[in-house]
Structure 1
Amino acid sequence: MSHHHPSLSRRRLLAGALGLGTLGALAPLRSAQAADFKALVCIFLYGGNDGMNSVVPMDAGRYADYARVRAGLALPQASLGRLGTSDFGLHPALAALTPLFAAGKLAVQFNVGPLHAPLTKAQYRADAGRTALTPPSLFSHSDQQVLWESASTDAQSRTGWGGRASAALGLVSPVISVGGNGHFGLSELAAPLVLPGPGDGFGAAGLASADMTWKPNALKLDAVKSLAEQSADTDLAGALQKQQIDAMALSEQLGPLVKRKPGEAGSNAAIDAAFAPLIVNGNVSTGLGRQLYQAAKMLDVRATLGGNRQIYFAQLGGFDTHGEQIGTDALSGQHAGLLKQLGDALACFQAALTALGMAESVTTFTQSDFGRTFKPNNSNGTDHAWGNHHFVLGGAVKGGFHGQYPVLALGGPDDVGVDSWEQHGRWIPTSSVDQYAATLLGWMGASAGQLDTVLPNLANFGSARSLGFL
């Protein structure tokens, strides 16, 4: 698994020293619930998902091109789940998503990736990485994760676009992560609010409400609270103290809900019913399923977290499929197992949102390090590439296909390669991460000025600021 862990800043080291580092910052809690609530849910597919086998062309000409180059990795045409009456089908492991496409709730964004500005193959070849036009460290996991999570072409970016958006839009809560402390949720002064899975305690070690029956823990909590309430001499110290106070208040408030598992007293029957296909012996059976079950619970009590806009982060790792990507048939092998986990969890999550009356209010979208080479390698797998196809899901989504599908020719107009040795089908993106993020944040209500603040390269795309899927 190829996670990227941002280097620890002094702020996070300080917070970690008190055992509160992963709790994040929380602004004063509001109980008022705004009528026009909206939330974004990012699902990061770590390792680089193979978009070429996630969405496959089914028309005779392009399927023939696909099958010829993909060879042993090509999915049989009959196994694909055709999307409506279109010329594209989904990997059979994503079968749970085909009804959502039919209902107009699933959009596919073709060939999106990090770009400084629009880029043609001729420009890319002439630039040869000498200027900002070519994003840095292409095809590297850690660097490309940062470029996607930060929506920038600066591999040293300290903040994520989710974190910057939450600061620019003045959101009451920081990014709410059910998938660990990713780069996506970092802002200049706040870390994401990191929640554990169902069944786990939420709170600093020994300082959660459940620990207060033992007197030394109660005394420890009092000491930490009094330290946090002393006047701070720097902005950094003040921000840290505020994080600690808010985190302690929040863990008391949310602890019992975070811990609750399906079927337990007080659990939401509608959410449990929606996740029923994934529930085994009272537990949600997959990692991504558990994360989205937590997100559904938090969205159900959205007023507790406060504000009418929220941003969530979840993740699934294991997509670095250099070998044994496909098994003996289309539904076996490493990639199929990962896509099944993704499709099933997304379908259950969408069913839960529908049951809560929130289908129109929540938009879920995927991100990943990069796409993978069109041409397989010699190990029954694929290597690192660039542009990729992504999914956007929700009641507000304009279902269907968006962006330009690449020309399926090795060495063709979309492939970075010219000479035969470098013709692997690494697509130059025709849509940028900035445009992708701007489309999502524009739906959230971000103004043109706020989008320019959060997405520094957006201005380079002129009037083409939205990709049109919302």
Structure 2
Amino acid sequence: MNILKKATRRDVLRLGVQTAASSSMLATLGTYQRAMAAVDTRGYKALVCVFLYGGNDGFNLVVPRSSPAYNTYAASRRNLALAQNSLLAINPLTSDGNQYGLHPNCAGLQNLFESSRMAIVANTGTLIQPTTPAQFRAANVPLPPNLFSHADQSQQWQTSIPNSIQPQGWGGRIADLLNAQGYGNPNLATNISLNGSNIWQGGNNTIFYTLGENGAPVLYDYQYPGYRSGTRRASFDRLLQQATASTDGNLHFREYTRSVNRTIASSQYVNNALNAAPALTTVFPSSGIGNQLRLAARMISARSQLGLSRQLFFVGLNGFDQHDNHLSAHGGLLSQLSPALKAFYDATVEMGIQNSVTAFTASDFGRTLSSNGTGSVAGSDHGWGNHHLVIGGAVQGRRIYGSMPDLSLNGPNDAGSGRIVPTISTDQYSATLARWFGADDSDLDLLFPNLRNFSTRNLAFV
């Protein structure tokens, strides 16, 4: 039941999509009455953004197996093409007349897809409105600024507002809504990053909390409380107590003390919850992405101890900007990603919460179909459209959503130089995830201002 006054919620949301000139307006967010039902928080749900930094090559992640589609792919990719007999077969319930396979290093993803726990969202990218290659070349429709730029496109993916420079991501805007309606735990943010700073989780009046691979970061003197019989820690505690009780006029001194106290309290709160949570037996690969997803699973396991019914996690994997040595480097990264995502899903099954946790991939952009060199060390350049993965028990899996593009160079989907024009926008992709997470359908146009330009608001993959 939605009992929030509509004008109030819309005001709260509008504050999240103002331009950078609106800093004074953002300061007024606290004057709005608390929202009561802008996000449905019944039960537990978690979203996990898996960002593939550098521009993952989706066209070597999902590849046509049947001829002549494979022959078209191989002719365009030349020395970047995977061998047809190496592809891991998938059998989508949807069909465009072609057969498809996954990269040979993606056995875990193949298992998830074939068991209907993973969906592929085809040819997705930053768009302001539906755009054809001819319109792109003529520049007679509004286009996302600075296409093919890492910094700009990764930001636009995370904000889902490509036509405006924004410091807030759509995950952060949802956290703002939750905060505005009085939801949350004062001891811990709804947004948790396992991969440092990011834009997706940045909000106007909420901040994300960053964890290391082993839990909450702890001040040195608190990591080793027995060092020198605890004398150093005791001295540090006395200094903090004195500073907290101080009434002098040094604002910097008092704020620094409050910050240190918050850091200590948050670290203890999170690590105590993790220690009290049920242990997981699922084995994760000992890679960077595996360790991040392992800790995300542990945080989900501690959801009762943390007192949260909504969580948004951010994890990341670097290295996808492969202008050379593409085949080897890309295969190596996928050999890390695939088992980590499979282990994460298995952990949610172990906890009995797989229907309440959805993981999804995002990336700067796709890669060009064309190769930039000769031999096995050749690479690809910055593209546009890309294939993405959505994983979880609630996912309507074993399906390909959207249209797989024609992979011929200078073909009907090529904007030039092998750059495929997206046919699904980041707004449609993100809005589908936000709606599942509990955002009100009537608020999606404010969370994703360009969504109104697309006829399909919900892709229904989850």
Identity, % of aligned pairs?
40
Counterpart code for 1:385: G
CA distance in 2, matches of 1:111, 1:241: 49
Whether 2:52 is the aligned partner of 1:45: answer yes
**CA contact under 8 A between 1:51 and 1:371: conserved in structure 2?**
yes
Could you say if the C-alpha distance between residues 225 and 118 of structure 1 is closer, same or farther in structure 2, counting changes exceeding 3 Å?
Answer: farther
Residue aligned with 1:109, SS? strand
CA RMSD, aligned part only? 2.9
Equivalent residue, structure 2, for 1:401: 400
Aligned amino acid, residue 427 of structure 2: D
Match of 2:105 in 1: 93
* Alignment partner of 1:184 is 2:191: no
Q: Please name the residue that 2:432 is paired with.
A: 439
- Say which SS state the counterpart of residue 419 (structure 2) adopts: coil
Distance 1:374 1:220, change over 3 A: farther
- Aligned residue pairs total 401
Residue 350 of structure 2 is aligned to residue 355 of structure 1: yes
1:276-305 per-residue CA deviation (whole Å, 9 max, x = no partner) reads 5x2xxxxxx100000011001000011233
Paired residue secondary structure (2:331) = helix
CA distance in 2, matches of 1:160, 1:36: 24
Task: Give, in angstroms, the shift of residue 36 of structure 1.
Answer: 1.6
Residue 232 (structure 2) pairs with residue 217 (structure 1): no
Aligned amino acid, residue 101 of structure 1: F
Whichever residue aligns with residue 48 of structure 2, its letter is V
Q: Distance in 1 between matches of 2:164 and 2:61?
A: 27
Deviation at 1:155, TM superposition (A): 5.8
Amino acid aligned to 2:299: M
Structure 1 residue 126: deviation in Å?
Answer: 2.3
Does residue 415 (structure 1) correspond to residue 407 (structure 2)? The answer is no
Aligned 8 A contact 1:179 1:314 in 2: yes
- Are the equivalent residues in 2 in contact too, given 1:434–1:455 (CA < 8 A)? yes
Alignment pair present for 1:339 and 2:329: no
CA distance in 2 between counterparts of 1:311 and 1:382 reads: 32
Q: Which amino acid aligns with 1:365?
A: F
User: Cα distance 1:435–1:206, how it changes in 2: closer, same or farther (>3 A)?
Assistant: farther
Residues 168 and 454 in structure 1, CA contact (< 8 A), matched pair in contact too: no
In 2, Cα distance between the equivalents of 1:242 and 1:119?
Answer: 50
C-alpha separation in 2, matches of 1:446 and 1:153: 21
Give the one of 382, 396, 400 matched to 2:380: 382
The answer (yes or no) to whether the contact 1:144–1:155 under 8 Å persists in 2 is: no
Aligned equivalents of 2:258 and 2:453: distance in 1?
Answer: 37
1:122 maps to 134
Q: Deviations over 1:281-331 (max 9, x none)?
A: xxxx100000011001000011233332111100000001110111xxxxx
Distance 2:248 2:89 in 1: 62
Superposition deviation, residue 376 in structure 1:
1.1
The separation in 1 between residues aligned to 2:262 and 2:178, in whole angstroms, is: 20
Q: What is the one-letter code of the residue matched to 1:315? A: G
Q: Deviations over 1:392-427 (max 9, x none)?
A: 00000011100111111211221112xxxxxx2211
- 1:24 aligns with none
Tell me whether 300-309 or 189-198 shows the greater mean CA deviation.
300-309
Structure 2 residue identity aligned to 1:37: Y
Asked whether the equivalents of residues 47 and 317 of structure 1 are also in contact (C-alpha less than 8 Å), the reply is yes
How do residues 142-153 of structure 1 correspond to structure 2 at under 5 angstroms? 142-153=151-162
Displacement of 1:452 in angstroms is: 2.2
- 2:59 aligns to what SS in structure 1? helix
Amino acid at match of 2:388: H
**Structure 1 pair 380–207 and aligned structure 2 pair: CA distance change class (3 A):** same
Normalised TM-score (structure 2): 0.80
| CA 224–407 in structure 1, closer or farther in 2 if over 3 Å, else same | farther
Structure 1 residue identity aligned to 2:392: G
| Counterparts in 2 of 1:358 and 1:220: CA distance versus 1, 3 Å | farther
Distance in 1 separating the partners of 2:242 and 2:380: 54
Q: Which amino acid aligns with 2:218?
A: G
**TM-score normalised by the chain length of structure 1:** 0.79
Amino acid at match of 1:275: V
The residue type paired with residue 425 of structure 2 is S
CA distance in 1, matches of 2:55, 2:245: 46
| Counterpart in the other structure of 2:325 | 324
CA distance in 1, matches of 2:294, 2:123: 30
